[in-house]
């Protein structure tokens, strides 16, 4: 499908007053709360202002129930060689972890007792598969996806809180073009909205967005203007504010500070995508601070940036790098995680 150019974005910008727009970022309180130098954290899920889950290498997970004053940590038994790229928190007791890797290194675990014990729910037995992320509509209904296997993306779904994960029939699985895959850099290359809609994004030979409105049974696909063409470039993260407005970020992870076509948006549910203001470098995750007005946060190894249609460009919040971010909607509050077990909390100061 055809990607719209900058005209549509200019219309959107023109509709929003620029009075008070700031070219320089005001410090907004990214405060480091915990570090664990031996691991890299790639997943984070803020349930609310007090409960947050995080995950990373060496089978490690972190959690807090007091807004980050304390971060107890643990290792899932028997998972010390796994890399948990995605985490989904339901509440203080219940959370899911997804590990990414080839073959049986892709697994899904669940706890219902605050991390004291973990139940292995799914193990991938397809040697060619590599799971990139998962997302949940509610505590019981979720979906996960893998890089293509024999030309088709592998999709699994649960309707019972993960007790069973059922593959989408192979004939209904979306088709990839040669060299197209997805990224597991932050667990946010897949997102859901409403009760049935799901989108996932790709890179490599193409930078496309796949959409399903029936919980993954049938799919459509659209091209985006995001940079692609190499195994290290494409879309790394996708988010929607509602069923119509969505945003993607990415770039080339081998060129962390290169500004290119790394941000795009849609206002028709992902049927068409338009280029937006370029980020100053590769970004691995994007999240929504506010839906009305739209305010986004994007993070990557070279820094954190904020954007709204009120701004003509992205505004830098910090040059400290992170891999993943999760925000509490409409609270100006959230957490980012990254290398050296770094966890930081974002809180608006004014």
- Tokens 């993260």, located at residue: 237
Q: What pLDDT sits at residue 3?
A: 38
Q: What pLDDT sits at residue 10?
A: 36
Q: Phi, psi (5° rounding) for residue 172?
A: -100, -10
**Least trusted range by pLDDT, from 138-147, 322-331, 341-350:** 341-350
pLDDT at 111 over 60: yes
* 144: Cα separation from own chain's centroid: 13
The domains of the chain, with CATH numbers, are 6-17+30-44+53-63+75-287+342-347 (2.120.10)
Residue 11: enclosing H or E segment and its boundaries? helix 6-14
* 3: Cα separation from own chain's centroid: 22
- Give residue 28's pLDDT band: very low, low, confident or very high (50, 70, 90): low
Mean residue pLDDT across the chain: 91
Strand 131-136: give its sheet, edge to edge.
Answer: 131-136, 142-149, 152-158, 166-167
Q: What pLDDT sits at residue 14?
A: 31
pLDDT at 72 over 50: yes
**Beta pairing partners, 80:** none
Q: What pLDDT sits at residue 329?
A: 76
CA distance 187 to 177: 22
pLDDT tens-digit map of 253-302: 999 999 999 999 999 999 999 999 999 999 999 999 998 899 999 999 99
pLDDT tens-digit map of 170-225: 889 999 999 999 999 999 999 999 999 999 999 999 999 999 999 999 999 999 99
pLDDT tens-digit map of 168-183: 998 899 999 999 999 9
CA distance 261 to 279: 8
The tokens for 241 are: 């504010």
């Amino acid at each position: 499908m055809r990607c719209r150019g900058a005209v549509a974005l200019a219309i959107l910008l023109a509709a929003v007053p620029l009075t008070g727009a700031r070219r320089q970022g005001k410090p907004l309180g990214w405060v480091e709360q915990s570090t664990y130098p031996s691991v890299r954290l790639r997943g984070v899920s803020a349930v609310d202002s007090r409960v947050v889950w995080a995950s990373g290498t060496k089978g490690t997970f972190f959690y807090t129930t007091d807004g980050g004053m304390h971060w107890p940590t643990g290792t899932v038994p028997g998972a010390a060689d796994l890399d948990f790229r995605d985490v989904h928190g339901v509440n203080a007791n219940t959370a899911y972890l997804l590990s990414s890797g080839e073959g049986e290194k892709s697994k899904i675990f669940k706890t219902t007792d605050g991390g004291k014990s973990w139940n292995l729910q799914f193990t991938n037995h397809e040697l060619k598969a590599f799971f990139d992320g998962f997302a949940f509509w509610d505590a019981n209904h979720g979906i996960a996806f893998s890089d293509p296997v024999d030309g088709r993306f592998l999709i699994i779904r649960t309707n019972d809180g993960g007790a069973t994960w059922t593959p989408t029939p192979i004939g209904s699985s979306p088709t990839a073009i040669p060299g197209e895959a997805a990224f597991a850099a932050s667990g946010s290359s897949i997102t859901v909205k409403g009760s049935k809609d799901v989108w996932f994004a790709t890179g490599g030979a193409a930078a496309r967005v796949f959409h399903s409105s029936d919980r993954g049974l049938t799919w459509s696909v659209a091209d985006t203007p995001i940079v692609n063409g190499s195994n290290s470039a494409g879309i790394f993260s996708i988010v929607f504010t509602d069923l119509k407005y969505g945003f993607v970020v990415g770039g080339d992870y081998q060129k962390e500070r290169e500004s290119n076509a790394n941000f795009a948006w849609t206002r028709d549910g992902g049927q068409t995508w338009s280029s937006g203001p370029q980020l100053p470098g590769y970004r691995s995750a994007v999240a929504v601070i506010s839906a009305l007005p739209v305010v986004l946060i994007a993070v990557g190894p070279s820094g954190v940036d904020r954007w709204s249609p009120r701004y003509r460009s992205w505004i830098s919040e910090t040059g400290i790098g992170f891999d993943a971010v999760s925000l509490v909607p409409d609270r100006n509050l959230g957490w980012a995680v990254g290398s050296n077990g770094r966890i930081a909390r974002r809180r608006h100061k004014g």
